[in-house]
Structure 1
């Protein structure tokens, strides 16, 4: 009867805002379907644009209502027509918006797979409805095709006027865990359709006398089921709602254009939680969505910090086989804090998050973090995948192969395992300590200055002999007397005076020797050079040259200032020794004085550097993993699973070489040859085909490493760190520092060196894939970090590195054999060279005398 309002109202209200136009339409008494459609469309658009800011909407409705209000709508046929008109107007307004909208019919859920029939065009509104899935699909497959878990968020609007069909749809969404942060749900329950339709029994006729169309069998059953539907509040109590659920219930309590908005969530039905409905605001056409201040100014996690003692299953990793007491006591007390350090540290952080959100733990334990074994994950990750636990109490290394199976909440422990060893005090560099004080360029300059000094001195001695040749003696003469030849003549004359008579045998020998030499010289002079073999001719030429040199030296005065004497002079002053001869010229004495001053300066710097080298800290030459592999140190590993798994998957050639040479020999089997990623030892110690590299890696589960000599280098921290000097042990520094501080001396602590096999690893807290606890734990760990609780627990569980208190002890002033070994080697080398030259000289002398006697005998 108000049809004229639909025609003339836009003309009389031009320029009015949309919400005023809607209010005016509602006040003029439009038909209930039109009023409801305008009100619901305005609510959906504002919910999407102004509140959630998500432009993707999926609207779930049905073609026929299943509501019960006999007093409002007297006839079921008129009821369906009104509902169809309402849907038509609502869908039209949604399609005219700028949002991405999909309309999905829920009637397929009310039809039986065998008796259901396709919808006919005349059964309801035809514009804009999406096609229903085929009857061959199950409800679960249909739901997966309608709502897909995508990266983008979307809004799901459900019209609760569909009755049991909408309830069945909500149950399917609950079974598929779709009440997550990816889907923002809006459930609309309107007063106009919140009633029970009175169905006439028997006749099934309309008021206008026409026969009512027969209902499908599935809908007839559904009509009887709708009579005892529970309230939406009690119905949502059985749904899988969680902490991250974004569900808003909009209820219209009366005929007024007013919706009350409720925020619906649950700590977790499987955790023992209960549904929470909290009024958060209202919606009216004039004011839109009005939310309470406390709701607008807080985040979702902050509003839901009371989980009502929900029981969350938590699995922790415990590698200590000697654990005593209850599991909770072991995880929360610092007794033997160097064992399972990062696992206990992470659990104490989760305890702080637990107190923040008011939940409780249901604890369980395992021995493995979770590694692929026989194609499946074992340990904690395997339990999360199989839904045996909800969150992981121990942190893990986040690898790519684990990404698709679990979710992470935030960083926890920073693990830094490395090789720790006492660096040897004497290394290869210490053995050349006598060359260390000066750099290479300084040594080259010293040698250059020495060569120049030798040549200058040689030149000066030569010039001096030529300028002053008197009395047949050299001007460069030995200390304290005449030249050697003149001295020898005086001594010979004195001996003749003192002992004029000599034994006849000696004189005869001398005379015979002189005769032999004279005869030899005569023979050589008479023998032509061209006679004899080639080597005889060469020898004759060489002997003649030596004889001519000797004749010249007999005629000329002997000269002492030679090149070799100049070399010995420079070596002597460098070694702080005396001068072997003197010179008369001022120029010669200048070069001698200059060389002595140069030697004095060099010696001072050299000796001071030697003393400083002995007192300074010994240089550490083992700095990388490659240096450790090629050193003489033995190597051991902490018997923990991630160390074994590292060697199982690493492709680093240095790590593979370290494992093959110093840790464990791997038996060669066909299985190893098939695994290209696994290193193989070229020298296996076992040929048992049942024992493979993978078995050795996982031998920690059965303790086989303790019985097998091939795996004897897998040790616990106490045993590995207290090994003898010359042993490098790979262990986490959190466990090592406490043992070192309690057992090592100050000198041993200063000698410690750390070499990393792989970079420090950041660990993360984990939970099930798409877990509703992810935001809770992530927010809790951030708050724990901001408030300093994480730093407090880190200082409790992570031992500090023991400080090195350097003291000059008596042992530091001692020079050991390794330090002076270079000087001893030089001396021994000179002994060997001297003996070799002496042997050569003896052989040459014997050969020369034999040749002379042969020639004398021939003459």
Structure 2
């Protein structure tokens, strides 16, 4: 009945004023020592003094094992009226908890984390736990309180019987005062805990390197715009027609023996153009000036086109694609996916109902009938380095591993794609905590003073800076994917033509 938001105003009976003057503390204040009058309580007592004035005092206890503390709030006199000394709210007046011992719990997924909570060693392991541990000590120092910890391996999820396990279980049973590790804002947790405004701005996302442009596009058609390709085709067609006319006139004008040197056919002229375009030379000599001028035009055109084409191909082979813009593109791409093997990833993946996200989980991370792609952060980032792999984990720890293991020329072209939609994880306290408002105010001070951002910079690594020093990329089979297609289709076409030629010859 003394907890917030209830407020008490206790008036002293004037007929017993003399009695209370003789035993002020023991008879008046000491009686509250057995009640739950804690820092969130508002108990105001109007006490009559021997001089006729009325003292205005507030009483509270910093913790169950502490004595009652008296606050002199002011006085009232019949001549002067009321005079208030302290108008501050209770969370400001009572921020000194006199070394009250608070209970907390932290989530540890790696046993070695206990040995490195404050030395910034292995920052990519249990990063949020280590960062929040330092924040919580800033809060308790501002409150002049101490804190004891219990260690759990889970943030807390409902069992089959509906009860909470992990840190949520300790909070819901009020076995601890404050959760030492931030947790996500989930709807079914609202009834059992209170969230305070100290969030950890970290996100989990798929981290992958943008694949080369040749991975998703026919790189052999990209050096020239479509209109340029059309213009090239028109140019070659005009030269072919001119060459066919010139060749026929040349043979007829020279009176060449048709039995020994038959007039070049359209097929011969077409092969001549194709041979020059493919830089394979040509099988016959042209003797007239007209034919040689046409041939020189073709050679000069092919020379300039090859120079431009080769320069663009070299640039494009080292370019990355921007075609993967959302989760659907990631699902439909040949890029493999994996996820960090940590408890909350398993939990939230089970709850996912979105069709696209569900397909990524069922076909790329947990393929039915195949090997699941749950792995450690180090193994996942190693696969990202090899290419064509997207790994789901916290971006800060992931970039820390990248910063330490990747070469400078490998720190470019990274892409983040968020998968789980949620607010930033936040600190939690028990329901109706007597220290709730004090913790909330000090949490805001931690952020306003810069202590929060300082620890974030120490524990969380930003995306590595790309200095542009990319080394030359070797061309592999995957980069020539469409060239093999062209060779394959050409071979099939050649075999079919051979088959039809045999049939034509037999008929």
Task: Classify the TM-score, shorter chain.
Answer: 0.7 to 0.9
What is the Cα deviation at residue 742 of structure 1? 2.9
* Structure 1 residue corresponding to 2:310, chosen from 607, 613, 616: 607
Q: In the alignment, is the contact (CA less than 8 A) between 2:155 and 2:166 conserved in 1? A: yes
- Partners of 2:204 and 2:418 within 8 A in 1: yes
How far apart, in 2, do the equivalents of 1:427 and 1:604 lie? Answer: 20
**2-structure distance, mates of 1:792, 1:368:** 27
Partner of residue 772, structure 1: 434
Equivalent residue runs for 1:195-344 within 5 Å: 231-254=27-50, 256=52, 258-269=53-64, 272-284=65-77, 287-292=80-85, 295-296=86-87, 298-322=88-112, 330-344=116-130
1:20-419 equivalences under 5 Å are: 173=1, 178-180=2-4, 182-194=5-17, 231-254=27-50, 256=52, 258-269=53-64, 272-284=65-77, 287-292=80-85, 295-296=86-87, 298-322=88-112, 330-374=116-160, 375-419=162-206
Q: 1:837 to 1:606 in 2, by over 3 A?
A: same
Residue 835 (str. 1) matches residue 490 (str. 2): no
**What is the Cα-based RMSD across aligned positions, in Å?**
3.6
Contact 1:191 1:254 in 2 (8 A): no
Task: Provide the rounded CA distance (Å) in 1 between the counterparts of 2:62 and 2:196.
Answer: 18
Distance 2:27 2:349 in 1: 60
Larger Rg computed on CA atoms: 1
Q: In structure 1, the residue corresponding to 2:353 is in which secondary structure?
A: coil
1:456-514: CA deviations, max 9, x gaps? 748x94xx9xxxxxxxxx872159x825xx3236x69xxxxxxxxxxxxxxxxxxxxxx
Inter-partner Cα distance in structure 2 for 1:281 and 1:407: 34
If asked which structure has higher relative contact order (CA below 8 Å, sep 6+), I would say 2
Give the equivalent residue in structure 2 for 1:794. Answer: 456
Does the C-alpha gap of structure 1 residues 409 and 834 become closer, same or farther in structure 2, counting only changes over 3 Å? Answer: closer
Paired residue for 1:785? 447
Secondary structure at the aligned position of 2:150 is classed as strand
Measured after TM superposition, the shift of residue 230 of structure 1 is 6.0
Deviations 1:200-223 (A, max 9, x none): xxxxxxxxxxxxxxxxxxxxxxxx
Cα separation, partners in 2 of 1:820 and 1:764, compared to 1, 3 Å: closer
Residue in 2 that maps onto 1:482: 254
What residue is the counterpart of 1:435 in the other structure?
221
Residue of structure 1 equivalent to 2:486: 826
State the 1:420 CA deviation: 3.0
The unaligned stretches of length 5 or more in structure 2 are 20-24
Tell me the distance in 1 between the aligned counterparts of 2:223 and 2:278. Answer: 16
Say how many residue pairs are matched.
497
Deviation of residue 779 (structure 1)?
Answer: 1.3
Deviation of 1:339 after TM superposition, in Å, equals 1.7
2:354 corresponds in structure 1 to 652
Change (3 A) 1:285 1:591: farther
Distance 2:309 2:196 in 1: 62
Deviation at 1:330, TM superposition (A): 4.2
Structure 1 residues 414-436: Cα deviation after superposition (integer angstroms, max 9, x where no partner): 22222334555575335x22101
State whether residues 179 and 242 of structure 1, in contact with CA within 8 Å, keep that contact through their aligned partners in structure 2: yes
Structure 1 length-normalised TM: 0.52
Task: Give how far 1:233 is off.
Answer: 0.8
Q: How does 1:670-685 map to 2 (within 5 A)?
A: none
How far residue 624 of structure 1 moved from its aligned partner, in angstroms, is 3.4
Partners of 2:203 and 2:109 in 1: CA distance: 18
Are the aligned partners of 2:210 and 2:321 in contact in 1 as well (CA < 8 Å)?
no
1:651 shift after superposition: 0.9
Q: Tell me the secondary structure at the aligned position of residue 277 of structure 1.
A: strand
Question: Gaps spanning 5+ residues in structure 1: where?
Answer: 1-172, 197-228, 465-473, 493-557, 666-682, 686-709, 848-859
Q: State the SS of the aligned residue for 2:447.
A: helix
Contact 1:454 1:563 in 2 (8 A): no
Q: CA deviation at 1:304?
A: 1.7
Q: TM-score, normalised by structure 2?
A: 0.85
Distance 1:723 1:604 in 2: 37
Residues in 1 aligned to 2:467 and 2:486: alpha-carbon distance in whole angstroms: 37
